[in-house]
Amino acid sequence: MIANDGAVLAGLRERSAAERWFSRFAAFVLAYLLFVILFGAWVRITGSGAGCGDHWPTCHGELVPRSPSAQTLIEYTHRLTSGTLGLMALALPLLAARLFPRRHPARRFAWLTFVLVLVEAGIGAGLVLRQLVALDASVARAVAVAVHLTNTLLLTACSALTVVTSREHEAQPGPRATALLPLLGLLGGLVLVASSGAVTALGDTLFPVGGAAPPPPEHFLVQLRVLHPIVACFMVCACVLVAIRFARVPRSRPWAVALGAAAGAELVMGALNIALHAPGALQLAHLLGAQLVWLSAVVLAWSLRWGAASPVGAAAR
């Protein structure tokens, strides 16, 4: 009997160690995903989207480009990093299926992460094949950029929730659905403001302030520059109000504080972007900040719905 109990305890410890390893791997995938997103923005900023011509998945019709230009190297490297992300995203649901029971949310979010990585790759391929890259300033490209960013937000949300749910053992009852309505509205608003920000960033790249030629005032990408800061300021205020409200709930306090702090930092970076005419490095910092605001809001909503573990509690396990 004692031997059997010892074997059971050893098995539980081994499974717990495997789950902790999976959680760390999922966190690494999330961090790497954010890196790939920033790299993709750098491709846009440097005008390297057409670095491989209108070929995909090959580069100028070759698997490995010969005598590549700087723009070709940037675009080709981005494709390699994206391909690596795809392999890691495929590993997530396969590992989750071995470690977690059938209905465990970590399995669902791992599969969603993989599917959305495929969608992300398909959107990127469509941009290249339809030549909606480089200096293209069409409405079609603006719409594609907004859709691309929306899918990216869903992708990072599922990746983050894979990490969070892999650290949960028992779901706790959350508040009534009506209590979550402010957060659901906030998440929808963040998607809209982030999409408008992506289109505004496209305009900043194609029609830089202080460039050799003055930006055409009648172009819609130039006119949108006024709209995005107004909407963004409204959403920062909404984030702070939501953060103050849910900071009173102990299990969600860390994420509420993170949401308020990230939103405040985004406001500062947005103002600097306007004042300094959106330099490339600051655009990347602004994009990363937007992702941190989004992820804080997503995990905050999940912690209220299911009682997700806080970072401190997760670390203790």
Shared-domain flag, residues 75 and 134: yes
pLDDT tens readout for residues 48-95? 998 998 889 889 889 999 888 999 999 999 999 999 999 999 999 999
Judge if 268 and 291 occupy the same domain: yes
Is 199 in the same domain as 261? yes
Residue range 169-217, pLDDT digits in tens = 655 555 555 567 888 899 999 999 999 999 998 888 888 887 667 778 8
Structural domain of residue 276, as residue ranges?
A: 172-317
Do 122 and 33 fall within a single domain?
yes
Cα distances from 22 to residues 50, 154, 185, 308, in angstroms, run 37, 21, 32, 17
Rounded to an integer, what distance in angstroms lies between the CA atom of residue 134 and that of residue 148? 16
Q: Is 159 found in the same domain as 184?
A: no
Q: Which of 143, 167, 191 is the last residue of a domain?
A: 167
* 112 and 257 share one domain: no
Q: What is the pTM of this model?
A: 0.88
Boundary-marking domain end, from 114, 142, 167: 167
* Total domains present in the chain: 2
The residue out of 105, 140, 167 marking a domain boundary is 167
